[in-house]
Copies of this chain bind each other. A is one copy, B any other.
Amino acid sequence: MKFEKLKKELMNRNINLSYHRMKILEYLDKNRCHPTVDQIFTDIQKTIPTLSKTTVYNTLKKLVEEDLVRVINIEDNETRYDINTEEHGHFKCETCKTIFDFEIKLESIPNDGLDNFKVFDRHVYFKGICPGCLRV
Chain A: residues with CB nearer than 8 A to chain B?
71, 73-77, 79, 89, 91, 94, 100, 102-105, 108-114, 116-131, 134
Contact = CB atoms under 8 A, between A and B. Distances in A.
A124 B127 contact: no
Contacts of A102: 111, 113-114
Contacts of A127: 119-123
A69 to B, nearest CB: 13
B131 A126 contact: no
A105 B110 contact: yes
Specify how many copies of this chain sit in the oligomer.
2
Contacts of A111: 89, 102-104, 126
A104 B109 contact: yes
Contact of A114 (B74, B75, B91, B112): B91
Nearest to A89: B111
A122 to B, nearest CB: 5
Nearest to A71: B76
